[in-house]
Structure 1
Amino acid sequence: MKAQEVLRLAKACLQDDSLTERSVSTRRVCSLWSGMGSIYELRINNRLHVAVKHVPAANPKEMKDFGERRKAVAYQVEGNFYEHAAPHFPTLRLPQLYHIERSENSITLCLEWMSGPRYSSSSRVEDALTWLATLHSESWGRADALVASCGLHAQGTYWHLDTRPEEHAQMSSTGWEGRLKRAARAIHDALERDVMQCIVHGDVKEPNLLLDPDGGVTMCDFQYTGKGSPTQDLAYFFCSSVDTEECDEEQLLEHYHKILTQKLVDQSAIPSWDHLQLSMDLAYCDFCRFMSGWGYWGSVDIIQSRVQAVLNRIDNGKDLGSEEAYDAAIRNHFW
């Protein structure tokens, strides 16, 4: 990033035209996915510490590749979240947006730099779940309105079925994964019918969890934020970032349910414990469907065992043979 550009952004962040090039320093921290842009660290004397996310190629209309278009849209959604949606979450700890710039082909975000101690999943999982319960509760029953007014995804998460047709096609057509492949659409639709609907982060993993200078948990990378069932965030977080040998999932889920219930105390649509567990079963199956076509990571044995058990409940261990048959069975076992 050129010195003049850095200075211009610094002036915009502080709204101070008296700054000079000697007032600011910058370094490139890393590149973004597929080389679509970069993250820079910007220091403005001792007054401000800024994370600059610069995406010069963020026009989905110019992208021929399906995956590149998905990512370009995602960066626009992230800008929408910080600019338009964040004010709707008054008690949620978020990196502060200092400045945003958009053009037809690019987007630049200037955000609060989080320089607290490194997040450790083994010791801070409950704090992360409390953060999620806050995000979910403050958008409970308002997801459609927030999507429409703030420009978020109509379907949150980066792995939902409609945005991953190639991975679905790559799944095995035999064995338990073949059964999951045929059940995929019905599972997706059941999560959309779930009475628990809110704004989900959509990419809750350890690298996106930050600690502020006071040690409080916050999160970044709101590129796949949109409407969904809260269990989609939970299942992905447990699969990707929680050491199941150190942590008891049921206790963690109980903690989340307790916090969510407290925050929804004035609402009538508080989910029951049994409903939350059923929704978790669907969310695990939904995420496992993506990994089956993309590649597995995280607690593979645990999620595969769990998903196979859920499938056995749905089809009694026998392939039902069609998407329509799985839709009927899932409606019977869930909703």
Structure 2
Amino acid sequence: RVRAMAAPMPDLSPEDLTAALKDKAKKKVTRVRKRRLQTLWAGYGAVNELELDPLKLKLIEKIVQPPDGDGSVSHERKIKSYDVEADFYRHVAPRARTKGIKIPEPFLVDGSGKGLRILMGDLREEFPSCPSSHNEKQALASLSWLAKFHGHFMGAVPECCSSWPAGTYWRLETRWEEWEDIRASSNWSELKAMASALDATLASAASSDVGTLVHGDFKAANIQISSDGEGVGALDFQYCGRALGAKDVAYYLASSVENSLVSLKEEKLLRHYHAALIKECNVTTYSFEAFFSHFELSLLDYVRFMAGWGFWGNVQWAQERAKRIIAARGAELMAAYA
């Protein structure tokens, strides 16, 4: 389990890095050049680029050094998320990479009581672009990545992510504070009232054979894209866990796709994902109609979170779609769990 740190974790030596690379190191590492890329959310650590000489190889180092815990739900959620990511890179990533799923190659996962260090390959060499909003070509490629990831794990979710058994960072169980912040006088009071019923419906569906391992934070900032726009790699697996793949899809469309694209071509994007998913997992019984129903409920669930936390991304599209879904399906949801 990740712990608070009083002092910084020591840098990896050239000898440490040579050992971590194993067969990938054709020569011994003699010098390491380190550059800070970003700090982690809320100051819980940092992401660094390590350039190794004479290999001319760049690696990514994620260092998690959380502040002292204050006992809050938010702090515990973040701590658990890094435990999950460590589990993912130890146990899931090697298997996924053998199936052609483009994720960073893990070289070292060290959580030995001195914080957490994850040393991994740099996706930017193959996928150099990270646009903040995706056009149609980039969106189709990103949805194809999701379909491959979801299809591989559909009906076979690994047990190693037990500390975060249900995927996504906005799931209701960990977001009651945001639920409380939805004012009774707001436009979303009806959605607040049906939140538990909605959560139970999605959880029940995820426990079936269409449940899969979701990324849990599949947004543009966590997606690297090739120069031609047709290849995609993904990173940041803090909130992966069992859920419906539709949750990743709904979040991605709401957060990361050009507004005009998702407004005009929502069905095209959804059908592309569904067709790729069926091809990947060979589950012909999961119809587009069933997936679309899951997508609508997943979008509603994410809007529930934003109604308390704050709206961002494709706000107008997400709000308008959510209101239509509530009008069409709200009574049905409430009746099912009355």
Give the structure-2-normalised TM-score. Answer: 0.85
8 A contact 2:103–2:123 mirrored in 1: no
Deviation at 1:80, TM superposition (A): 0.7
8 A contact 2:250–2:295 mirrored in 1: yes
Task: Work out the CA distance in 1 between the residues paired with 2:11 and 2:245.
Answer: 43
1:250 aligns with 2:267: yes
8 A contact 1:40–1:52 mirrored in 2: yes
What secondary structure is seen at the aligned counterpart in 2 of 1:204?
Answer: coil
Task: Work out the CA distance in 1 between the residues paired with 2:225 and 2:91.
Answer: 23
Q: Following superposition of structure 1 onto structure 2, how do residues 18-29 of structure 1 map, counting pairs within 5 Å?
A: 19=28, 23-29=31-37
- When structure 1 is superposed on structure 2, of 112-121 and 8-17 the one drifting more is 8-17
Deviation at 1:46, TM superposition (A): 4.5
1:37 aligns with 2:45: yes
Q: Following superposition of structure 1 onto structure 2, how do residues 180-199 of structure 1 map, counting pairs within 5 Å?
A: 180-194=191-205, 195=208, 196-199=210-213
Instruction: Give 1:25's aligned amino acid.
Output: R
Instruction: Give 2:33's aligned amino acid.
Output: S
Match of 1:129 among 137, 143, 151: 143
What secondary structure is seen at the aligned counterpart in 2 of 1:258?
Answer: helix
Change in Cα spacing, 1:260 to 1:152, as seen in structure 2 (3 Å) is: farther
Corresponding residue for residue 105 of structure 2 = 96
Post-superposition Cα deviations, 1:228-255, rounded to whole Å, max 9, x if no partner, equal 0111000000000011313511101110
Post-superposition Cα deviations, 1:150-188, rounded to whole Å, max 9, x if no partner, equal 546211000000010100000022354110000001111
Task: Work out the CA distance in 1 between the residues paired with 2:49 and 2:78.
Answer: 22
Corresponding residue for residue 156 of structure 1 = 167
Instruction: Give 1:30's aligned amino acid.
Output: Q
Change in Cα spacing, 1:2 to 1:282, as seen in structure 2 (3 Å) is: closer
Match of 1:311 among 326, 331, 337: 326
Corresponding residue for residue 5 of structure 2 = none
Unaligned runs of 5+ in 1: 317-324
Change in Cα spacing, 1:214 to 1:326, as seen in structure 2 (3 Å) is: closer
What secondary structure is seen at the aligned counterpart in 2 of 1:274?
Answer: helix
Deviation at 1:6, TM superposition (A): 4.4
Number of residue pairs the alignment of both structures matches:
315
Corresponding residue for residue 177 of structure 1 = 188
Unaligned runs of 5+ in 2: 1-7
Change in Cα spacing, 1:167 to 1:127, as seen in structure 2 (3 Å) is: same
Instruction: Give 2:268's aligned amino acid.
Output: Q
Task: Work out the CA distance in 1 between the residues paired with 2:188 and 2:176.
Answer: 16
Deviation at 1:19, TM superposition (A): 4.6
Instruction: Give 2:266's aligned amino acid.
Output: E
Q: Percent identity?
A: 30
Task: Work out the CA distance in 2 between the residues paired with 1:253 and 1:161.
Answer: 25
Match of 1:259 among 276, 280, 287: 276
Task: Work out the CA distance in 2 between the residues paired with 1:149 and 1:114.
Answer: 24
Instruction: Give 2:63's aligned amino acid.
Output: H
Change in Cα spacing, 1:58 to 1:100, as seen in structure 2 (3 Å) is: farther
Corresponding residue for residue 224 of structure 1 = 239
What secondary structure is seen at the aligned counterpart in 1 of 2:305?
Answer: helix
What secondary structure is seen at the aligned counterpart in 2 of 1:26?
Answer: strand
Corresponding residue for residue 321 of structure 1 = none
Instruction: Give 1:84's aligned amino acid.
Output: H
What secondary structure is seen at the aligned counterpart in 2 of 1:42?
Answer: strand
Instruction: Give 1:79's aligned amino acid.
Output: A
1:272 aligns with 2:287: yes
Q: Following superposition of structure 1 onto structure 2, how do residues 53-68 of structure 1 map, counting pairs within 5 Å?
A: 53-57=62-66, 62-68=69-75
Corresponding residue for residue 4 of structure 2 = none
Change in Cα spacing, 1:328 to 1:49, as seen in structure 2 (3 Å) is: same
Give the structure-1-normalised TM-score. Answer: 0.86
Deviation at 1:63, TM superposition (A): 4.9
1:78 aligns with 2:71: no
